Amino acid sequence: DQQVKQNSPSLSVQEGRISILNCDYTNSMFDYFLWYKKYPAEGPTFLISISSIKDKNEDGRFTVFLNKSAKHLSLHIVPSQPGDSAVYFCAASENSGYALNFGKGTSLLVTP
Amino acid sequence: DAGVIQSPRHEVTEMGQEVTLRCKPISGHDYLFWYRQTMMRGLELLIYFNNNVPIDDSGMPEDRFSAKMPNASFSTLKIQPSEPRDSAVYFCASSPVRGDIQYFGAGTRLSVL
């Protein structure tokens, strides 16, 4: 049973615009959330994370928002660049560690 | 550091054969994780180790799957006998401490014919 869901399998955005990737979760015990980026033939690489005590975390062009009441988080990329084209995975864990529960990913395409 | 190293990158085998996937974690990392990625189920955790000791293997699908970590720098995931439904990409990841970022290897793409 998927506890982390990314309902949009793909997203296409023009270069320079904002990309918004969404993620929903069902387990209220999750307290740590991460986004990973994955290029073809490579492993996922860590992008940004957020603890449940925060509702926003920013790192350069990347911002993650957490809405605990809605069990929803989103990743904003501003401005989007062609090099951002990749599959983005949302992940969550309980007790700030141990196993990560991953969503199925959203494939982002940033067009010039 | 070279990162997490997995071998082989690709494995093609026939149903019934034994398959062994290998992983070398980042030096100094105490946690090692094995994941499997399929279209149907996405990325799912199979098993993880802490200081070479298996902590949670509840994600291992069947007794055909086994994992070992004989020392801090090496782990194996074995499938015996392999079946076509085991075809997937298998990732190994490591992290320095509990709750820290997990660093992934490039994965092993397994095809069981």
More confident residue, B2 or A6: A6
Please tell me the predicted confidence (pLDDT) of residue B1.
65
Please tell me the predicted confidence (pLDDT) of residue A97.
60
Please tell me the predicted confidence (pLDDT) of residue B41.
87
Flag if A44 and B104 touch (Cβ within 8 Å): yes
Beta strands in chain A (DSSP E): 4-5, 10-14, 19-25, 30-38, 45-51, 56-59, 62-67, 72-77, 86-94, 101-102, 106-111
What percent of chain B has a predicted confidence (pLDDT) above 90?
A: 84
Question: Token match 């992008």: residue?
Answer: A47
B99 touches chain A (CB under 8 A): yes
A43 touches chain B (CB under 8 A): yes
Q: What is the pLDDT of residues B30-85, one digit of tens each?
A: 999 999 999 888 899 999 999 999 998 989 988 999 999 999 999 999 999 999 99
How many other C-beta atoms can be found within 10 angstroms of the C-beta atom of residue B16? 10
Flag if A96 and B33 touch (Cβ within 8 Å): no
A98 touches chain B (CB under 8 A): yes
For residue A8, what are the contacts with CB-CB under 8 A and spacing of at least 6? A21, A22, A106
Flag if B98 and A97 touch (Cβ within 8 Å): yes
* Length of chain A (residues): 112
The ranges of chain A with pLDDT < 70 are 96-97
Minimum Cα–Cα distance from B103: chain A residue:
A45
Beta bridge partner(s), residue A45:
A37
Flag if A43 and B33 touch (Cβ within 8 Å): no
